[in-house]
Chains A and B, each alone.
Chain A
Amino acid sequence: MRVFILAETVLADRVVHGLADAGFAVEGDADVRQIRGFAAGGDIDAVVVHESAPGPTPETVAPLLRKALGDDTAIVLGVGDVRAHDDDSPFDATVKLPLATRVLADRLRRAVRARRSGGGDARALLADIEIRYVRLSGQDHYEVLGVKPGAAHDEIVAAWDRLSLGLHPDRLRALANPEALQRANDVYARVVEAANVLRDPEARARYDRERGGVGRTAASLPLDELSDNPKVQKYLRLAKVSLLNHDEKMARVHLEFAATMEPDNPLIAERVASLTPNEG
């Protein structure tokens, strides 16, 4: 980054020294006209105009610099004490000098970034929120998350992550429009509700039964997906292997054991029930 420090000589030297060590291309002087020479060497990213610089006040100098250097250069006011930045001033930021080099470097980089970023366009985001909000009332949990009723657990978690990254309040801090924010919160509340049900295997099974229609039944699922608990999955996998080996007796033993570990799991119970008639 190329920076010019306009301040009284001793201070300018000190600041220049520090920033040079931090890898900046930096020059300093008490005379504003020296900027011309520095500018000849390349575009200037930031100029710090300190109160201590002799001659016209920083407020006078700023507009002239702006005209000369263009819109991409950050013009920063340098002061001797801790002071809040005045948004109505012609400056992009206010820094106290002298200041620890790494703090000053960070401050200057942020001022330059702020100067040059235009901010993004929220309209697409707002449109998206609006559409989701309007559709909410007619949607079931699967539709809210944007997944198919037979979706695997991983897909549901992925959908939850995706929608959280888009609609969680911490992600929407730039949204100044309070109605939009409220809509987004309403949509997300519904997403949370849907995810709470669909991410819990028992709740999901219950929901699928109540919902009727094509859902996940114990029969349609692979055995090791009947539970999320890895301890239980161990026995479900043993049951699966037994079935593959055509050993239904052992499969039932493993399955029943799994059922005792999770007595409230309706899917396992269903599967156990479905095995019994087959047993010779």
Chain B
Amino acid sequence: MSGRAVGIDLGTSNSVVSAVLDGEAVVIPDDEGNPIQPSVVSFTASGEPVVGRRAKDRMIVDPVNTVYSVKRLVGRSWFAPEIKVAAKKYGYSIEKGDDDAPRIVVRGKRYTAEDVQATILRHMKRIAENYLGEPVTRAVITVPANFNEAQRRSTRNAARLAGLEVMRLLNEPTAAALAYGYQDRNRERIAIYDLGGGTFDITLLELRENVFEVLSTAGDTFLGGDDFDHMIAGIVSRAFLHRFDHDLRTDPAAMQRLKSMAESMKIELTQRDAASGSVSQVVPGAAKPVDFDITLTREQFNQACKRIVQQTFLVCDEALQLAGVQSSEIDRLVLVGGSTRVPLVREMVEHYFFRKPLTDINPDEVVAVGAAIYAFGLEEAEAGPVAPPPIPDAARKSGTRKGPPPLPPGATGRMTAIDPGFGATMYDDLPQAVDDEFPEFSLADAVAESAAYPAVNQAPSMPLLIDVTPDALGIETVGGIMDILIHRNAPIPTRVSRTFATSRDDQDTVRIQIFEGTSRQVEENRFLGELVLEGLPPAPRGDVRVEVAFQINADGMLDVAARDSGTGALRRTRLTIAGAADVDLPEWDAEAGEYR
């Protein structure tokens, strides 16, 4: 029996865990009553990692051993530009690992990004267990909509390391849409504008009663609230340079303090028209540290940061164009992420979408709430039909009965839930012994013949989320051309097949290079990984033909299946994804119901 399911927003700056209690999504606080947990892990001298608020406090005291924004490192190869920037900018040490994935080096130990994410997830798990009073083993975990295959894999790996079964990897904007749209279920178009600490996502959805469908999604993985902090820190350091002829940007520890101060000033500017901060800094040539006070007005902040917000609208234009929709045609606008609290962002977004945003749900919590609602929905779906028998023989002899059988005595024939257009008649309390009582009856034939399409017992209260794949997927063909298999923004799950033949006599493996991206040249796209078809039988070239089905599943991740074109027999494949670290993963023990 599986344990309790929760929803977890594993964010760049903050993480939140939520669960549905008595039909209401509750954000779960830690034992000090805090619902928001900073995604920060600090490694103390004793070796025990500290997570959350206490870890964030240690960022100033012990920056070298305090790890933050690790979500930006996840699923990336050491050679990725983002890692290069992080290795230079961040207060903690990042090095290259043997498998080409980055390693975080703290107190002599080397950790993968997954290890640190797992530590955060363990912390969230514990918080949930303490509050709920029962073991928590399963979760819906959210990821940015534009997370690629490697980043999703890494997130799943981190969850496994933390002892959590991932019921579904849910896109953050879709989760937010669910949190808002779940109650009303009108027909409308909704835009989710998500400006977090590290990334920007825009997702457009269409809500049609029970189906929430994503129309398009676009994003920028290096655009977020941190850029506001960076901008303010830059203003302060320039002013300091002007005054004291000393460039603080050469001093990483000082910049760390500056960024922290910048964040506080930014938050203060949300409430007030001006914010002040002070820097106490040792300057070469001065006997004691100099004190520097600075005041920043909202006007100055807006001027400096306007361009950052404008960049988000370029991405919005892209998403609207992909969906074939204009900004004025969006019915509801939802802001997600703490950075959307900044008044400048609110003003500019209102102007762009011609309407005021919905803000009833705390933007820091809305994603976790949506994840919890969906986790609950998936649990409900699991409680549906129980212990089904094997598929009935469709060619079974037809009985004399037309339509569904009459109800056995005592059954009230209550039907549950919505109509999926299935030729299925279902009654809640129909006894299992229908076949015994009605030997002539063929369920398959009754189903085929029934004209009416009443209900099927399938999670009635929960809407269905149909998401899209954020990027096109294809394989490399002759001449470095990208053969696009699955287009960007295709609804998932989606499947495409290609047939490959051997090009040499007795060839025993076929290697296929897989790429993500929309360019026609493979070199302009991102290398995803390699698929190897192994153990092919010796035969003249061209005689061995293998049909490979590429599927993007509901989690937005790639599944591959290969069959011999002639016999239909399954062929052995090996899929390696670039950027996912070689982690020693625990295996799922189905019997014990946990990871070992």
What is A's interface to B at a CB cutoff of 8 Å? 82-85, 87, 94-97, 99-100, 102-107, 109, 114, 117-131, 134, 146, 157, 159, 161-177, 179-180, 183, 185, 188-189, 192-193, 195-196, 228-231
Within the assembled complex, what's the spacing in Å between the Cα atoms of A141 and B1?
40
**Among candidates A105, A121, A126, residue contacting B392 with C-beta atoms closer than 8 Å:** A126
Chain A residue at minimum C-beta to C-beta distance from B549: A189
- Which single member of B26, B131, B391, B495 contacts A126 (CB below 8 Å)? B391
| Interfacial residues of chain B within 424-438, with CB under 8 A of chain A in the complex | 424-430, 432
Q: List 16 A-B contacts (CB under 8 A).
A: A119-B387, A123-B388, A126-B389, A126-B392, A127-B391, A130-B394, A167-B420, A169-B493, A170-B168, A171-B420, A171-B464, A173-B378, A173-B382, A174-B383, A196-B490, A230-B326
Min Cβ gap B370→A in Å is 14
Which 8 interchain pairs have the tightest Cβ spacing? A119-B386, A122-B385, A166-B420, A120-B457, A122-B388, A96-B133, A174-B384, A162-B421
Residues of A near B420 (CB, < 8 A) are: 162-163, 165-167, 171
The yes or no answer to B585 lying at the interface (CB within 8 A) is no
Residues of B within 8 A of A106 (CB): 21-22
Question: Is B385 a contact partner of A107 (Cβ separation < 8 A)?
Answer: no
Known: A165-B420, A173-B378, A189-B551. A130 touches B392 (CB 8 A): yes
Q: How far is the CA of A167 from the CA of B421 in the complex (A)?
A: 11
Give the distance in Å from the alpha carbon of A129 to the alpha carbon of B382 in the complex.
Answer: 18
- Determine the chain A residues whose CB is within 8 A of the CB of B132 once the complex forms: 103, 107
A128-B423 contact, Cβ under 8 Å, with A105-B22, A174-B385: yes
Residues of B at the A interface (CB closer than 8 Å) are 1, 3, 21-22, 26, 129-135, 168, 208-211, 324-326, 329, 377-378, 381-392, 394, 416, 418-430, 432, 443-444, 447-448, 456-459, 464-466, 490-491, 493-495, 551, 553-554, 593
The residues of A that contact B447 with a CB separation of less than 8 Å are 124, 127-128, 131
The reply to whether B428 and A179 contact each other, CB–CB distance below 8 Å, is: no
Known: A121-B432, A230-B329. 14 other contacts (CB 8 A): A85-B134, A107-B134, A117-B383, A121-B427, A124-B425, A163-B420, A164-B466, A165-B210, A167-B420, A175-B385, A189-B495, A192-B491, A196-B490, A230-B324
Given contacts A105-B22, A125-B456, A170-B554, are A94 and B134 in contact (CB under 8 A)? yes
A176, B428: Cα distance in complex, Å: 19
Which residues of the other chain, B, contact A231 by a CB distance below 8 angstroms? Answer: 326
**Whole-angstrom distance between the Cβ of A198 and the nearest chain B Cβ:** 13
- Min Cβ gap B30→A in Å is 13
User: Is there an interface contact between B26 and A163, defined as CB atoms closer than 8 Å?
Assistant: no
A87 cross-chain contacts in B, Cβ below 8 A: 1
Which chain B positions have C-beta within 8 A of A105?
A: 21-22
Which residue from A97, A100, A127, A157 sits with its C-beta under 8 Å from B394?
A127
- The complex places the Cα of A180 from the Cα of B135 at a distance, in Å, of 31
Complex contacts, B448 vs chain A, CB 8 Å: 131
Query: In the complex the two chains form, is A95's CB within 8 Å of B133's CB?
Result: yes
Answer whether A164 and B133 are a contact pair too, CB < 8 Å, given A121-B426, A159-B421. no
Q: Which residues of A contact B419 (CB under 8 A)?
A: 162
Contact yes or no, B443 A188, CB < 8 A: no
- Output the least CB separation between A267 and chain B (Å): 16
Residue of chain B at shortest CB distance from A86: B1
Contact A119 B422 (CB under 8 A): no
Q: How far apart sit A172 and B458, CA to CA, in the bound complex (Å)?
A: 8
Q: Which of A121, A129, A171 contacts B430 (CB 8 A)?
A: A121
Q: Which chain B residues border A104 with CB–CB below 8 Å?
A: 133
CB-defined contacts of B131 to chain A, threshold 8 Å: 100, 103
Given A105-B22, A120-B385, A163-B420, verify A82-B490 contact (CB < 8 Å). no
Question: Which of B329, B419, B421, B423 gathers the greatest number of chain A CB atoms within 10 Å?
Answer: B421
Bound-complex Cα distance A157 to B456 (A): 20
> Is B392 in contact with A123, judged by CB distance below 8 angstroms?
yes
A189 and B388 CA atoms in complex are apart in Å by: 22
- Interface-centre pick from A97, A134, A165, A172 (highest chain B CB count, 10 A): A165
CA distance A8 to B420 in the complex (A): 51
Docked-complex contact B391 and A130, CB < 8 angstroms: yes
Residue of B nearest to A167 (CB): B420
Contact of B22 among A102, A118, A165, A192 (CB under 8 A): A102
Q: Are B384 and A170 in contact (CB under 8 A)?
A: no
B394 and A161 contact, CB distance less than 8 A: no
Given contacts A124-B424, A131-B444, contact A176 B388 (CB under 8 A): yes
Interchain CB contact (< 8 A) of A120 among B389, B416, B418, B490 = B416
Q: Find B384's partner among A120, A126, A188, A189 (CB 8 Å cutoff).
A: A120
Asked if residues B21 and A119 are in contact (CB atoms below 8 Å), the reply is no
Q: How far is the CB of B406 from chain A (nearest CB, A)?
A: 15
B443 cross-chain contacts in A, Cβ below 8 A? 123-124, 127
Q: Which residues of A contact B3 (CB under 8 A)?
A: 84
Which residue on B lies nearest to A174, using beta carbons? B384
- In the complex, what's the smallest C-beta–C-beta distance from A93 to chain B, in angstroms? 8
CA distance A162 to B394 in the complex (A): 23
B425: chain A residues at CB < 8 Å are 124
State the CA gap A9–B514 with chains docked (Å).
66
Q: Which residue of the partner chain A has the closest CB to B426?
A: A124
Q: How far is the CB of B220 from chain A (nearest CB, A)?
A: 26
**Complex interface: chain B residues within 8 A of A107 (CB):** 132-134
Interfacial chain A residues near B428, Cβ < 8 Å: 118, 120
Q: Are B134 and A168 in contact (CB under 8 A)?
A: no
Min C-beta distance of A101 to chain B, whole Å? 10
The answer to whether A168 and B326 touch (CB under 8 A), given A119-B383, A175-B388, is no
Considering the complex, give the chain A residue whose CB is closest to the CB of B463: A165
B residues less than 8 Å from A163 (CB atoms): 420-421
Contact between chains at B135 and A83 (CB < 8 Å): yes
Contacts of B135 on A, CB cut-off 8 Å? 82-84
Find out whether the CB atom of B385 lies under 8 angstroms from the CB atom of A125.
Answer: yes
Bound complex: CA of A177 vs CA of B495, how far in Å?
21
Shortest Cβ distance from residue A83 to the other chain B in the assembled complex, whole angstroms: 7
CA distance A87 to B495 in the complex (A): 38
- Would you call A82 and B385 a contact (CB within 8 A)? no
Given contacts A123-B389, A126-B388, contact A85 B444 (CB under 8 A): no
Pairwise interchain contact A180-B388, C-beta atoms closer than 8 A: yes
CB distance from A36 to the nearest CB of B (A): 29
